[in-house]
Structure 1
Amino acid sequence: MQRYFIDPEQIMNQTIVITGDDVHHIKTVMRFKPGTTILVADGTGAEYITEIEEYDQDRVCCRVIEMRSARGESHTRVTIAQSMPKGDKFELILQKGTELGASRFLPFHSERTVVKIEPKKVAKKWDRWQKISKEAAEQAHRGQVPTVETPISWKQLLQQIESFSGTVWIAYEKGGKPLMQAISETNKDQIMVVIGPEGGFSEKEVKEAKHAGAIPLSLGNRILRTETASLMVLSCIFFARHEL
């Protein structure tokens, strides 16, 4: 059953009104007709089995058949703090990370970050990232769309590490606690994984992150690409906790 996300305010009694890009997808891409059943999630933990009643150019009206608790969400909430990689790699991390179950993406700039997004282009980039995450959440039948933040500085990331209520790991190729050991030793439901850019982190950055409360993490004997690292950690966390 095709899934779409809406805001809770789009639910009025037993009617859900879908607007925006999803109208085009329903009418033109999927060619759904009145009477078609679709699944609608409100992003807060509830989902609705609905039937399309009518549509026009700007909206699709659906009748609620059944409300139930949303499925597809893990108990463990994982934040991927990702130093901005080159090209469209961050979009790949967003898409696949959403499919795997990440709850939040926090891009940042570090010492060896090559990509610098111009301030005037941040809003446009962020809109695209939101769309990618939403579409991936729909495809994966997630109950919620992950939060995608706008890029922050290294100093701001250190502040986030200090205030984070769960476990924070920083991936470091020169040594750290083995991944599976680290997973087994934490009982926190909130985990932040800090991943460096193509050139990795400097020793100074790792020391600063440790001082802020992060634990250096080894991802094994092989050096992974930055777009592979976060996805591997996500998979291992959810596999070890039986939450895949």
Structure 2
Amino acid sequence: MQKYFVAPSQFGEEHIDIEGNDAHHIMNVMRAKIGSSIEVSDGLAREALANIESYEEGVVRARIVEMRPLDRESVVHVTIAQSLPKGDKMETIIQKCTEIGAVRFVPFVSERTIVQYDAKKEAKRIERWGKIAKEAAEQSHRNRIPDIMSSLSWKQLIAQFSEYDRVLFCYEDERGTQLRDVVKPFAERLASDQTSIEAANKTQLDPLPNAKAPSVLVVVGPEGGFATREVEAALAAGARAVGLGRRILRAETAGMVATACIMYEFGEMGGL
């Protein structure tokens, strides 16, 4: 069943109005008929199964049949910080990591970034990446569309490390600590904490609040890797250097592998 994201203002009590490119896609690409069922989400707090009721003046109106649970998001929030890669590789990174479960993408410029940052093209590039994230979220039936942030300098990115519970610095020369060495005990401890909260809630009149979703920032460098001083700065700011196995991965592959491994350790892919 096809899924679509709409603005919260388009999501009514009984009907959902789908406009623009999505309406065109429903009627002219998918060739949906009146009465056909679709899934619709406002990307925030509401998701529904709806039946197409009419199509007039470029607007598809669908009647809500039932509200759906918001249960497709991961228990861990993974943000991918990616040094701008060449060509259309960033599009691939956003598409695939969205399917796997990443919630945010932060492009940045590091010392060996080959791509020349152009502020004039920034808005158009983010719009393009946002469209790719939306389509990937629809294809994978996510409950939300990942955020695409504006490009940062290396110093600006490091300044944000403290906002995350864990910062994993993917480093090809790291031979000791592997990603699993950091993520597995982190996931196990949080799972134990959540069990304790649930147990306490069964015996108290005032339940304890559920812990917020743990946040992990995965930092991936450019095709040429990080400069030594960048590695030193990242570690000094609290990042953990981790390896991704004995093989050297491409810049566009590292984020996908790291995200999948994190999801596995948090039980999103048959792990814990």
Normalised by the size of structure 2, how large is the TM-score?
Answer: 0.86
Matched, 1:56 2:46: no
CA distance in 1, matches of 2:229, 2:167: 17
> Any residues of structure 2 matched to 1:5-154 within 5 Å, and which?
5-154=5-154
Higher Rg: 2
Say if 2:75 and 2:266, in contact at 8 Å, map to a contact too.
Answer: no
Task: Look up the match of 1:164.
Answer: 163
- Which secondary structure does the structure 2 equivalent of 1:39 belong to? strand
- Aligned identity (percent) is 48
TM superposition outliers: structure 1 runs of 4+ over 2 Å: none
Matched, 1:224 2:249: yes
Higher strand share: 1
Matched, 1:2 2:7: no
CA distance in 2, matches of 1:61, 1:50: 9
CA distance in 2, matches of 1:123, 1:240: 35
Per-residue deviation, 1:48: 0.3
Matched, 1:243 2:265: no
Say if 2:20 and 2:58, in contact at 8 Å, map to a contact too.
Answer: yes
Per-residue deviation, 1:213: 1.3
CA distance in 1, matches of 2:158, 2:104: 17
- Which secondary structure does the structure 2 equivalent of 1:49 belong to? strand
Q: Which runs of 5+ in 2 are unaligned?
A: 191-213
CA distance in 2, matches of 1:222, 1:12: 51
Q: 1:54-106 deviations in whole A, cap 9, x for unaligned?
A: 11232111111101222321111000000000111000000000000001111
Say if 1:45 and 1:69, in contact at 8 Å, map to a contact too.
Answer: no
Say if 2:83 and 2:113, in contact at 8 Å, map to a contact too.
Answer: yes
Task: Look up the match of 1:182.
Answer: 182
Q: Which moved more, 1:88-97 or 1:166-175?
A: 166-175
Size of the aligned set, in residue pairs, is: 243
- Which secondary structure does the structure 2 equivalent of 1:12 belong to? coil
Normalised by the size of structure 1, how large is the TM-score?
Answer: 0.96
Per-residue deviation, 1:42: 1.4
Q: Which runs of 5+ in 1 are unaligned?
A: none
Per-residue deviation, 1:240: 1.8
Per-residue deviation, 1:198: 0.3
CA distance in 2, matches of 1:80, 1:25: 30
Letter in 2 for 1:186: F
Per-residue deviation, 1:154: 0.7
Per-residue deviation, 1:23: 1.0
